[in-house]
A and B are shown apart, each in its own frame.
Chain A
Amino acid sequence: MMISQFFVLSQRGDNIVFRDYRAEVPKGSTETFFRKVKFWKEDGNAEAPPIFNVDGVNYFHVKVVGLYFVATTRVNVSPSLVLELLQRIARVIKDYLGVLNEDSFRKNFVLVYELLDEVIDFGYVQTTSTEVLKSYIFNEPIVVAPARLQPIDPAAIFTQGNKRMPGTAVTKSVVANDPGGRRREEIFVDIIEKISVTFSSSGYILTSEIDGTIQMKSYLSGNPEIRLALNEDLNIGRGGRSVYDYRSSSGSGVILDDCNFHESVRLDSFDSDRTLSLVPPDGEFPVMNYRMTQEFKPPFHVNTLIEEAGRLKAEVIIKIRAEFPSDIIANTITVQMPLPNYTSRASFELEPGAAGQRTDFKESSKMLEWNLKKASIVGGGEHTLRAKLTFSQEFHGNITKEAGPVSMTFTIPMYNVSKLQVKYLQIAKKSSSYNPYRWVRYVTQANSYVARI
């Protein structure tokens, strides 16, 4: 496994950092890469795949906050190793800079080079552990104020609209001190669940999956050991049963299909009492990833109706109902629906008194968009949108084949559908007065939430 070069390009293709480790790839690789990605037209694909080969040079890239993290090599390496590494480099840099964006990169490029020199030597990965790197890194980060709506990591969603969360903590560098000079002792444990649901046209659930992560970010000094207790009725693996067998899954606790763990996690007592123990390294990392196809109650019910109303007209009615408790508030909800491509106009009608909702018909893509950003949906609430469509030509056949499906994106803080819980978070005590802040936070996000019509 050898990497020849590593570089970071901006969205416009400017070099932000560039490191050549083995001098075996010809000049101009950054230009070659950028041109290829920008004008990827092969096979009608709109998006360049993360790995491609140009003249014997293999280019790997991941996109993080709109920046391209790229590695090149001539060797037939393990692709997931390189992509994993690129993602990890982004994370390490973020651990150091606090905020990852073009600006913070440019202000801290000497530090970034310092990191890159220790992460990779002559193309071989040395370490990507923020913890280990700390002893080799001497530059101090120049902290950049986080831009608005910084979507680098899922935890960033806590900074929006929820005052209970210390918003700045997640964008704090692992090496920088707080203004007061002393570091605040705190640890964050986030349970982030991305859900995918597909509803059939008659409202049944066709497929559903939860992809969850327990993410940890520790600012504890002295690396104390931590114990993390999960639900006692947690089960892993679904025996010989088909993964999509819903009938027998009720009432038997939380059943994960599968999960994996960060290398620092020790599972000595996991089988007996569902406890994970670990000494959390510095920086942000996933303690555990899990996947679940056990039946769960989808947080939103979507009802869509499309009806012809004359030769050149049709009406669309979309109704969404929040199926979670009323003390939970969802935010940043977007509903999208492709309309027949001969739609020329759409006029919208919201419920009387609806506030903070926005509707739009995107002429070029024939897309209906309904945003409920400001009007956060409270559990149990219901909202309806009516849209009157005008067509430029008569339609034939079945109008439902020409429109849809309806897709939704949303974020629901302090709520998780899997019912997986962190029962307690125990920190090995150094003294009786040692009582660091512990933040255990839940959030549910839509990954692919689709209702067919």
Chain B
Amino acid sequence: MAPPAASQRYPSPSQPSGKSEVSDLKTQLRQLAGSRAPGVDDSKRDLYKKVISYMTIGIDVSSVFGEMVMCSATSDIVLKKMCYLYVGNYAKGNPDLSLLTINFLQRDCKDEDPMIRGLALRSLCSLRVPNLVEYLVGPLGSGLKDNNSYVRTIAVTGVLKLYHISPSTCIDADFPATLKSLMLHDSDAQVVANCLSALQEIWSLEASHSEEACREKESLLSKPVIYYFLNRIKEFNEWAQCLILELAVKYVPSDSNDIFDIMNLLEDRLQHANGAVVLATVKVFLQLTLSMTDVHQQVYERIKSSLLTLVSSGSPEQSYAILSHLHLLVVRAPFIFAADYKHFYCQYNEPSYVKKLKLEMLTAVANESNTYEIVTELCEYAANVDIAIARESIRAVGKIALQQYDVNAIVDRLLQFLEMEKDYVTAETLVLVKDLLRKYPQWSHDCISVVGGISSKNIQEPKAKAALIWMLGEYAQDMSDAPYVLENLIENWEEEHSAEVRLHLLTAAMKCFFKRAPETQKALGIALAAGIADFHQDVHDRALFYYRVLQYDVHVAERVVSPPKQAVSVFADTQSSEIKDRIFDEFNSLSVIYQKPSYMFTDKEHRGPFEFSDELGNISITPEASSDIVPAQQYEANDKDLLLGVDEKDDNKGLSNNNGSAYTAPSLESSSSISSQMQELAISGPATSATTPQSSFGFDDLFGLGLSTAPAPTPSPPLLKLNPRAALDPGAFQQKWRQLPISLTQECSVNPQGIAALTVPQSLIRHMQSHSIHCIASGGQSPNFKFFFFAQKESEPSNYLAECIINTSSAKAQIKVKADEQSTSQAFTTVFETALSKFGLP
């Protein structure tokens, strides 16, 4: 209700403290409490309204608690409602007083009028007072059995409220089981929907420590339950439909008929006017068809129109949410949207957050056939009144230039920007021209002649200044006055506030010196002196380094500072393809809006229905849930196939990223790249063979290991006893997997019965568990399955970690073992192999 902060705030002078008003109210309420005079309810209503109104604006009216409760002995439902509202707001702060209310609420729970029963039950469960939970169980139990559906809906949510106040009370009363049976049998759709939400929440929270809850949670995803919901989806209101669709996303279809059945059932949901229903349906379609490239592409085509209609029919806010998702799809599969580019043109009255998305989409869909139109359109925006958008537009033109093969026309446009003589346009353009020259040095002649005409005095922004200086140094030969322009800039060293610009000045002076020594010598001297005296550490260091290397040998200096350059082929994107994939898996969530995977902005317990683990990529953590993630991984493989022609550069980039940063990156970075490696390893289907070499290379590189150098064989190890109740949390697993070297790699055969049993991957997990080897993550699809296992010594907390990749067509298993104690890893491997060899045997 009223924010508690406000109610405790010291009353400001402008706002009356309300003290005298409150005591007035108190007296009046007291007078009315016992009265049975006609019209007394109306007077009560007025007083109650006053109380609620004070409460809303932040005046503390908790002192009339007793009177409010006394007055609530009435049959007037409006009064009751206001009283419940009041009680709900103050009960938590006044547990003693709440005891007062329990009595009348319990009585109301047995009222004749179902409306009052429901309302009272809702208020009772909303008190949030832990020591009163014992009073909830009875009314909740009868509420769940009530013959009125309104009461049942409220009771179901009440169970969830109870769970949050006291999980044990809720579980002990066996409420989850009651909810489950209601969910499957109740005739009222809203009761069923509330059961589903409540059970999902309860079982997800319980699953961390109860295997039974894990199983129950899993059972929600079984075929009968899923179809039970999907077949009657139209009986539910639009919000409950979203809930069901979110559940359906996690369902793993048994075969392609299953997939088409579901899609046919849901087809008309794409025509719903509610964007949330449509997006939830789109997610189901995208996930279902991951393994079917053709159909997947058809899905893109099918949903395109629906999404475009939603973008243009809602409020700007709703458009934004849909557009963000469209943006994601466009960036993933630009060629599918290439003909629709005009839909992404900005309208002058759109908010800038919408325009920004559209500019990125235009950049993404630009290809040979539409670039001319798109760039022409973007050039119109460059003169936009909104300077931020004008800048973005220029950057977009630059990005398109960098991704095109034929850039002639675009270079001309960029150079025209320079003629507009608007400071910010010039600044943005200079930065772009610099990047263009790094990729297409062949354009230097045209660019330099225009850039040479720009007066450095008109450029204030550090980035633009740095770009200009870079060009002066790089093309000193072609720009006749380069040494003099640099000299001018160097003379004003003291006034140059940006360290970035000063760094560039040093380097440019050096480069210029190598090409035109006599004209630059003096300026370079000044620059080095100023640089060495600079207070900025980097500037100082660079100047000193240049000075010393020049002293050592000018030729060496030239090789260091100005080596012959190779044109840059692809500029690194800010986001790795792994991150993008993760965001795609979290379609229809905030991850798409923020363009970040959920682990970057949400605490663990609040990830909600999108509980893809960050620790191990998309490989699920609990063995029971392992089937959840199959679609996500399938997607990886297939979407890459789908997009390969267009997006090859991403792969290159991913590779170079890993090479460059794996060692030095901060822990978050490196862990995400590890998980992405794991993710790639777990790719299913035909793509595996293609990606495995690359990823294992990444792995080796990451750990700096000689993979094949197996440790010296340990002499006949004693039989190893494993702890059947071993526990290891995924975070710890991941950390160990990263830190420990590989002790052993082994290949062995799997017997045919085992291969047959693998049609249900869980069976292996259960089998290994019976040998005290526990699965922490699994994934993959026929013919390649991948499992991560761990085990612990019985006597001491010494861990063994194993990765096991089974190829069902070759009937081989590859095992990698890591161990806390290297000396016993051979023994563990033996146990592991023995256990594996018995898999599938009776």
A residues contacting B by CB (< 8 A) are 1-2, 15, 17-20, 23, 27-31, 43-47, 49-51, 53, 56, 58, 61-63, 74-81, 83-87, 109-110, 113-114, 117, 121-122, 124-129, 136, 138-139, 196, 198, 206-207, 209, 211, 213, 237, 242-244, 257-263, 286, 288-291, 338, 365, 396-397, 401-402, 405, 407, 447-448, 450, 452
- Interchain CA distance A191-B691 in the complex, whole Å: 55
Contact with B2, one of A18, A110, A196, A263 (Cβ below 8 angstroms): A18
On whether the beta carbons of B318 and A80 are closer than 8 Å, the reply is yes
- Interchain CA distance A138-B3 in the complex, whole Å: 25
On whether the beta carbons of A291 and B312 are closer than 8 Å, the reply is yes
- Interchain CA distance A53-B348 in the complex, whole Å: 27
Tell me if B's interface is mostly helix, strand, loop or mixed: helix
Whether a CB of chain A sits under 8 angstroms from the CB of B768 is no
Q: Which residues of A contact B347 (CB under 8 A)?
A: 196, 447-448, 450
28 sample A-B contacts, Cβ–Cβ < 8 Å, listed by A number:
A1-B243, A18-B2, A18-B3, A19-B1, A47-B353, A49-B320, A79-B324, A80-B321, A109-B56, A110-B85, A113-B52, A117-B81, A117-B85, A117-B122, A121-B153, A121-B157, A122-B160, A122-B161, A126-B153, A139-B81, A258-B308, A259-B309, A260-B272, A260-B310, A289-B273, A365-B385, A402-B383, A447-B349
Q: Which residues of B contact A213 (CB under 8 A)?
A: 313
Closest 4 CB pairs of A and B: A448-B347, A81-B276, A44-B388, A50-B317
On whether the beta carbons of A77 and B314 are closer than 8 Å, the reply is no
B395–chain A nearest beta-carbon distance, Å:
12
Segment with Cβ contacts to A, from B586-594, B623-631, B781-789 = B586-594
Q: Which residues of B contact A211 (CB under 8 A)?
A: 312-313
Q: Which residues of B contact A58 (CB under 8 A)?
A: 590
Given A1-B608, A114-B81, A257-B309, A15-B157 contact (CB < 8 Å): no
A19–chain B nearest beta-carbon distance, Å:
7
Chain B residues numbered 298-350 whose CB sits less than 8 Å from any CB in chain A: 305-306, 308-310, 312-318, 320-322, 324-325, 339-340, 342-343, 345, 347-350
B166–chain A nearest beta-carbon distance, Å:
15
- Interchain CA distance A418-B460 in the complex, whole Å: 51
Whether a CB of chain A sits under 8 angstroms from the CB of B646 is no
Contact with B157, one of A56, A74, A124, A448 (Cβ below 8 angstroms): A124
On whether the beta carbons of B320 and A50 are closer than 8 Å, the reply is yes
- Interchain CA distance A271-B15 in the complex, whole Å: 63
Interface string of B590-615 (1 = CB under 8 A from A): 11111000100111001111100000
Given A18-B3, A209-B312, A258-B306 contact (CB < 8 Å): yes
Whether a CB of chain A sits under 8 angstroms from the CB of B5 is yes
On whether the beta carbons of A77 and B154 are closer than 8 Å, the reply is no
Q: Which residues of A contact B77 (CB under 8 A)?
A: 138
On whether the beta carbons of B353 and A109 are closer than 8 Å, the reply is no
Whether a CB of chain A sits under 8 angstroms from the CB of B419 is yes
On whether the beta carbons of B322 and A80 are closer than 8 Å, the reply is yes
Given A1-B243, A27-B3, A27-B4, A260-B590 contact (CB < 8 Å): no
Given A30-B3, A81-B276, A83-B317, A129-B339 contact (CB < 8 Å): no
B700–chain A nearest beta-carbon distance, Å:
34
- Interchain CA distance A56-B5 in the complex, whole Å: 19
Select from chain B the residue with minimum beta-carbon distance to A113.
Answer: B85
Q: Which residues of A contact B146 (CB under 8 A)?
A: none
Q: Which residues of B contact A244 (CB under 8 A)?
A: 342
A79–chain B nearest beta-carbon distance, Å:
4
Contact with B271, one of A61, A75, A259, A338 (Cβ below 8 angstroms): A259
- Interchain CA distance A84-B81 in the complex, whole Å: 27
On whether the beta carbons of A15 and B56 are closer than 8 Å, the reply is yes
Select from chain B the residue with minimum beta-carbon distance to A77.
Answer: B608
Given A56-B602, A121-B157, A263-B273, A81-B242 contact (CB < 8 Å): yes
Q: Which residues of A contact B237 (CB under 8 A)?
A: 127-129, 263
Q: Which residues of B contact A77 (CB under 8 A)?
A: 589-590, 608
Whether a CB of chain A sits under 8 angstroms from the CB of B618 is no
Whether a CB of chain A sits under 8 angstroms from the CB of B720 is no
On whether the beta carbons of B351 and A87 are closer than 8 Å, the reply is no
Q: Which residues of A contact B593 (CB under 8 A)?
A: 49, 51, 79
Q: Which residues of B contact A79 (CB under 8 A)?
A: 321, 324, 589-590, 592-593
On whether the beta carbons of A76 and B598 are closer than 8 Å, the reply is yes
B415–chain A nearest beta-carbon distance, Å:
13
On whether the beta carbons of A76 and B606 are closer than 8 Å, the reply is yes
Interface centre among A30, A51, A81, A117 (most CB of B within 10 A): A81
Additional A-B contacts beyond A43-B356, A260-B271, A448-B348 (17; CB < 8 A)? A43-B388, A56-B606, A62-B317, A76-B589, A76-B607, A79-B590, A81-B276, A83-B318, A110-B85, A113-B1, A124-B194, A126-B194, A136-B115, A260-B273, A291-B308, A447-B347, A447-B349
Q: Which residues of A contact B554 (CB under 8 A)?
A: none
B312–chain A nearest beta-carbon distance, Å:
4
Q: Which residues of B contact A124 (CB under 8 A)?
A: 157, 194, 197
Tell me if A's interface is mostly helix, strand, loop or mixed: mixed
Number of interface residues of B (CB under 8 A): 104
- Interchain CA distance A63-B353 in the complex, whole Å: 15
Contact with A78, one of B57, B160, B589 (Cβ below 8 angstroms): B589
Chain B residues numbered 708-724 whose CB sits less than 8 Å from any CB in chain A: none
Whether a CB of chain A sits under 8 angstroms from the CB of B420 is yes
On whether the beta carbons of A15 and B419 are closer than 8 Å, the reply is no
Select from chain B the residue with minimum beta-carbon distance to A367.
Answer: B385
Given A15-B3, A260-B271, A53-B594 contact (CB < 8 Å): yes
Interface string of B257-279 (1 = CB under 8 A from A): 00000000000000111111011
- Interchain CA distance A1-B194 in the complex, whole Å: 12
On whether the beta carbons of A1 and B242 are closer than 8 Å, the reply is yes
- Interchain CA distance A376-B210 in the complex, whole Å: 72
On whether the beta carbons of B591 and A76 are closer than 8 Å, the reply is yes
Q: Which residues of A contact B92 (CB under 8 A)?
A: 23
On whether the beta carbons of A18 and B1 are closer than 8 Å, the reply is yes
Select from chain B the residue with minimum beta-carbon distance to A79.
Answer: B321
- Interchain CA distance A407-B380 in the complex, whole Å: 14
- Interchain CA distance A402-B421 in the complex, whole Å: 10
Select from chain B the residue with minimum beta-carbon distance to A64.
Answer: B315
Given A27-B3, A79-B590, A83-B317, A207-B81 contact (CB < 8 Å): no
Q: Which residues of B contact A114 (CB under 8 A)?
A: 81
Q: Which residues of A contact B197 (CB under 8 A)?
A: 1, 124
Q: Which residues of A contact B190 (CB under 8 A)?
A: 126-127
Q: Which residues of B contact A61 (CB under 8 A)?
A: 317
Select from chain A the residue with minimum beta-carbon distance to B154.
Answer: A121
Whether a CB of chain A sits under 8 angstroms from the CB of B128 is yes
- Interchain CA distance A186-B522 in the complex, whole Å: 89
On whether the beta carbons of B53 and A109 are closer than 8 Å, the reply is yes
Q: Which residues of A contact B154 (CB under 8 A)?
A: 121
Given A80-B279, A263-B272, A401-B383, A198-B321 contact (CB < 8 Å): no
Interface string of B339-375 (1 = CB under 8 A from A): 1101101011111110010000000000000000000
- Interchain CA distance A113-B53 in the complex, whole Å: 11
Q: Which residues of B contact A139 (CB under 8 A)?
A: 78, 81
A258–chain B nearest beta-carbon distance, Å:
4
- Interchain CA distance A274-B147 in the complex, whole Å: 42
Interface string of B173-204 (1 = CB under 8 A from A): 00000000000000000100010010001000
Interface centre among B5, B305, B385 (most CB of A within 10 A): B305
- Interchain CA distance A396-B421 in the complex, whole Å: 9
Interface string of B237-260 (1 = CB under 8 A from A): 111001100100000000000000
Whether a CB of chain A sits under 8 angstroms from the CB of B49 is yes
Interface string of B648-660 (1 = CB under 8 A from A): 0000000000000
A412–chain B nearest beta-carbon distance, Å:
18
On whether the beta carbons of B239 and A125 are closer than 8 Å, the reply is yes
On whether the beta carbons of A74 and B312 are closer than 8 Å, the reply is no
On whether the beta carbons of B342 and A81 are closer than 8 Å, the reply is no
On whether the beta carbons of B420 and A397 are closer than 8 Å, the reply is yes
Interface string of B60-103 (1 = CB under 8 A from A): 00000000000000000110011001000000100000000000
Contact with B81, one of A81, A86, A138 (Cβ below 8 angstroms): A138
